[in-house]
Amino acid sequence: MSTFSSSLQSRYETVEAERRRTWSPEALAGNIAQREALVRAQPETTHVKAGDVLSPHVLLNADGATISLDDLTSSSPAVLVFFRFAGCPACNIALPYYAETLAPVLKAAGIPFVAVSSQPFPELDSIRTRNDLPFPVLNDPELTLSRDLGITYLFDDTARETAISKGGRSEALNGTSSWELPKPTVLVLSPGRAVSFIDISPDWMRRTETPAILKALGLENRNVSHAA
């Protein structure tokens, strides 16, 4: 059975504790309120499920080259991890966690693994270089794939006004005029673009743990030491 010294959730709990000590009550309440609202709304949202077959889509790399879903799944399943944007603190915890605990196992198994965000380049690539990620970070142009999956959410009024007050622009986050982002999501696609596993995290401070992903791939008895 795969075991890891530090779960992703334990890392988030450390961050949450620090925020409670250092953030203003207003900022903390606003952050928690949006996450709780998304969790409440999630059961009513429409999104793809295991067994669905996706329509063709292409993603972009930092050089502007296209990578299609068929390219990723040409000879095996592929794992796609959707995240919000390069400067998202929670994403800068999740992607290094997956680099440490998931990427080596997938590499050993010959399974493609990519991280995906709607944020345009070049800013998007900063999360890869900052964390020295060993897997590609790809752009979902104008949220096309994320919307087709049914995993996007809209900023609430408080979050939107806060972002604008700090000089933020929706175009810098997703290339569109809509204040919209993907919910953190893990997607496992089989050849033929068939969804074999999807886990959507409406609360971006609670995300899919590596053992759940490995189990979905039938690799639950593998761990980083086996892959090294």
**Could you report the per-residue pLDDT of 164-188, keeping only the tens digit for each?**
999 999 999 999 999 999 999 999 9
pTM for the predicted model, two decimal places: 0.92
What is the rounded average pLDDT of the residues 189-203?
97
Could you give the CA distance from residue 224 to residue 90 in angstroms, rounded to a whole number?
A: 23
Q: Please report the beta strands in the chain, taking only residues with DSSP state E, as ranges in sequence order.
A: 58-60, 66-68, 78-82, 113-117, 137-139, 152-154, 180-182, 185-190, 194-200
127 vs 89: CA distance, rounded Å? 10
Check residues 206 and 5 and name the one with the higher pLDDT.
206
The token pair that represents 206 in the structure block = 């609670």
Model confidence pLDDT, tens digit, residues 99-147: 999 999 999 999 999 999 999 999 999 999 999 999 999 999 999 999 9
72-90: b (≥16 Cβ within 10 Å) or e: bbeeebbbbbbbbbbebeb
- CA torsion sign for 79, 139, 206, 198 is negative
**Residue 222: its pLDDT value, please?**
73
Residues 6+ apart with CB under 8 A from 135: 98, 99, 103, 113, 114, 115
